[in-house]
Amino acid sequence: MEKAQSGAEALVRSLISGGVTTCFANPGTSEMHFVAALDRIPGIRCIPGLQENTVTGMADGYFRVLGRPAATLLHCGPGLANGIANLHNARRAESGVVNITGDHALAHVKYDSPLTSDIAALAGASSDWLRISSSADEIGADAAHAISQAGAGVGHGRVATLVLPADVSWGEGGREAPAGAAAPQPLNPPDAGRIDSAVTALRSGEPCVIVLGTAALTVASQPLAAAISDATGAPLKASGMVAVQPRGRGRLDIAPVPYPVDLALAALEPFTRVITIGCPMPTAFFLYPGKPSLVTRPDASHIALAGRDEDCQAGLEALAAARDAEPAPLPVPPVTPFAQPEGAITAEGFAETVCGLIPENAIVVNEALTLGTGFPARAGRTAPCDWLHITGGAIGGGIPVATGAAVAARGCRVITLQADGSAAYTMQALWTQAREGLDCLTLILNNRSYAILVGEYAKVGAEPGPTAMNMLSLDRPGIDWVGLAASLGVAGEAVMTLGTLRGAMQGALGRKGPYLIDVRFA
């Protein structure tokens, strides 16, 4: 007699039928039956990570490139807790993740063994959708719901957490989801009243700005946005919460709303009408003494043309039609060569050097923070490429996001602009890059401090003293990034001048596999 299907086997088959072909994993004891099913049933590529926060960050980067979710595999509540920071970033990026978290067998939970936790509270706080499976015969349907929720639509995904108790995994009677059960949720059309309000704002004669989120900045959306701006005179700005922004020659060169509060206030002060498409109202990351939370002027009116789970492309099309704005191909300006600066490495020289070497169709993952200030003014002149930003503010996203992006975009070069303080959180992802042979170039922006926090300290009106600087510095001892990378299987080198940086980048871009350059700023 044929053996009945287990819950784990039904889960694997349901993931495959739902289009999930990749699983980023850091499993433990409770997940071994699921691991065994992944071993027996072909169709899912399993990629291990050394720490759960690298696993969740890789799933974030994967979705940003492909627009469909990968699965993660985490171990019980503590493993989920390790991965929450990059689940937070994924939620803010609207990345779809099927976040499978193993747990104790249902009958074992009441005995409060060492790994028992309030997994519902942990998962609920870090997920858009949560289900704790209760039986093998329901696991397939649960998986289909998770996939459907995770892949909500273009530019709009969710973190869907499916808790897999061990006895549900090993239990017999597993039923896989029927074909088509995991279809993504359709996007809602934009509200007609909000479209009318936006049209009225653009016809009012008052100064109006249009702030675009991820789904309104796609290559397909940009000609529409440009036509609307040309027809109405309303300038375009990118939200500070953009997960993927196509940039370079032949794409719109749209500056983001600045991160520093005073600069953001100055940039938006002229506008009494603010139209947002696919993003929230421009807001300060933090509240500072004497500063506002919203970085628009106090009397500005806000029209949310399209929000999360709404079709931004349809919103742009409706707005363009209402203003008789006819989209046309974006002009491709002539190539303006980048300079080849020499001398000590500065933020401006670094950006000039890197932008001149970005290959066509590259993916640039930006966690540069304080040393990335030179890029916004230059990114519009590079070869066509996609910029992926760490949207949630939880540092340590850069290297994992780049790793997942490289898995999704085989054949494309991935360049990570990685602050050194943030790199220390998740540098284990370099090991996955080496193991998978991924074409990732990591540039460690090494100023040997949490420089962004030095700046934040100044905003509270104080100069950091010895105790504060001791907490904000990354020296005594300095981190040997090249040595660390080598220990994880990634070759690298350190550079201290712009000329040696240029040569190191040229060499790295001419080779296969991962490479790390320790960029030491003056």
Identify whether residues 196 and 166 lie together within a single domain. Answer: no
Give yes or no for a contact between 415 and 372, defined as CB atoms under 8 angstroms apart: no
Task: Confirm whether 2 is domain-assigned.
Answer: no
Residue 362 sits in which domain range? 347-520
CA-closest candidate to residue 315, choices 329, 333, 299, 303: 303
Identify whether residues 209 and 308 lie together within a single domain. Answer: yes
Task: Confirm whether 328 is domain-assigned.
Answer: no
Task: Confirm whether 246 is domain-assigned.
Answer: yes
Q: Pick the last residue of a domain from 322, 356, 373.
A: 322
Which CATH number fits the domain that encloses residue 161?
3.40.50.970
Identify whether residues 13 and 152 lie together within a single domain. Answer: yes
As given in the structure block, the two tokens for residue 229 are 């701006």
Identify whether residues 118 and 225 lie together within a single domain. Answer: no
pLDDT digits (tens, 9 = 90+) for 361-414: 999 999 997 888 999 999 999 999 999 999 999 999 999 999 999 999 988 999
pLDDT digits (tens, 9 = 90+) for 323-332: 999 998 898 8
As given in the structure block, the two tokens for residue 291 are 């500063």
Task: Confirm whether 330 is domain-assigned.
Answer: no
Give yes or no for a contact between 190 and 310, defined as CB atoms under 8 angstroms apart: yes
Identify whether residues 215 and 255 lie together within a single domain. Answer: yes
Whole-number Å distance between alpha carbons of 445 and 519: 5
Edge-to-edge order in the sheet of strand 70-75 = 45-48, 22-25, 70-75, 97-103, 159-165, 129-132
Whole-number Å distance between alpha carbons of 368 and 255: 16
Tokens 């490429």 belong to 385
Task: Confirm whether 175 is domain-assigned.
Answer: no
Identify whether residues 384 and 501 lie together within a single domain. Answer: yes
Whole-number Å distance between alpha carbons of 131 and 163: 6
Task: Confirm whether 176 is domain-assigned.
Answer: no
Q: For 172-323, list the strands marked E by DSSP.
A: 208-212, 236-238, 244-247, 273-277, 301-306
From first CA to last CA, the distance across the chain in angstroms is 72
Nearby residues of 55 by Cβ (< 8 Å), 6 or more positions away: 24, 25, 26, 49, 72, 73, 74, 83, 400
Whole-number Å distance between alpha carbons of 11 and 31: 12
Q: Pick the last residue of a domain from 170, 205, 228.
A: 170
Provide the pLDDT for residue 2: 46
As given in the structure block, the two tokens for residue 225 are 């946005």
- Mean pLDDT split into 10-residue runs, the chain, 522 residues: 80 96 96 96 98 98 96 97 98 96 94 94 96 96 95 80 97 89 86 95 96 96 96 96 95 93 96 96 91 95 91 95 91 88 96 97 93 91 96 95 96 95 96 98 86 63 72 79 98 98 98 97 82
Task: Confirm whether 228 is domain-assigned.
Answer: yes
Identify whether residues 308 and 395 lie together within a single domain. Answer: no
Burial class of residue 339 (count of CB atoms within 10 Å of its CB; 0-12, 13-18, 19+): exposed
Coil/strand/helix, residue 353: helix
Give yes or no for a contact between 445 and 367, defined as CB atoms under 8 angstroms apart: no
Helix (H) or strand (E) holding 443: strand 440-446
Identify whether residues 17 and 138 lie together within a single domain. Answer: yes
Half-sphere exposure of 489 (CA within 13 A, CB side): 14
CA angle 258, 370, 351 (to 5 degrees): 90
Taking CA atoms, 315 is separated from 168, 396, 425, 435, in Å, by 44, 34, 39, 43
Identify whether residues 199 and 162 lie together within a single domain. Answer: no
Task: Confirm whether 93 is domain-assigned.
Answer: yes
Identify whether residues 139 and 254 lie together within a single domain. Answer: no
Give yes or no for a contact between 28 and 51, defined as CB atoms under 8 angstroms apart: no
Identify whether residues 36 and 153 lie together within a single domain. Answer: yes
Which CATH number fits the domain that encloses residue 302?
3.40.50.1220
Domains contained in the chain, number: 3
pTM for this predicted structure: 0.94
Identify whether residues 368 and 504 lie together within a single domain. Answer: yes
Whole-number Å distance between alpha carbons of 186 and 141: 19
Tokens 């009318």 belong to 196
Nearby residues of 477 by Cβ (< 8 Å), 6 or more positions away: none
Whole-number Å distance between alpha carbons of 151 and 40: 26
Provide the pLDDT for residue 187: 87
Give yes or no for a contact between 126 and 88, defined as CB atoms under 8 angstroms apart: yes
As given in the structure block, the two tokens for residue 192 are 């007609």
Nearby residues of 68 by Cβ (< 8 Å), 6 or more positions away: 19, 20, 96, 151
Provide the pLDDT for residue 1: 35
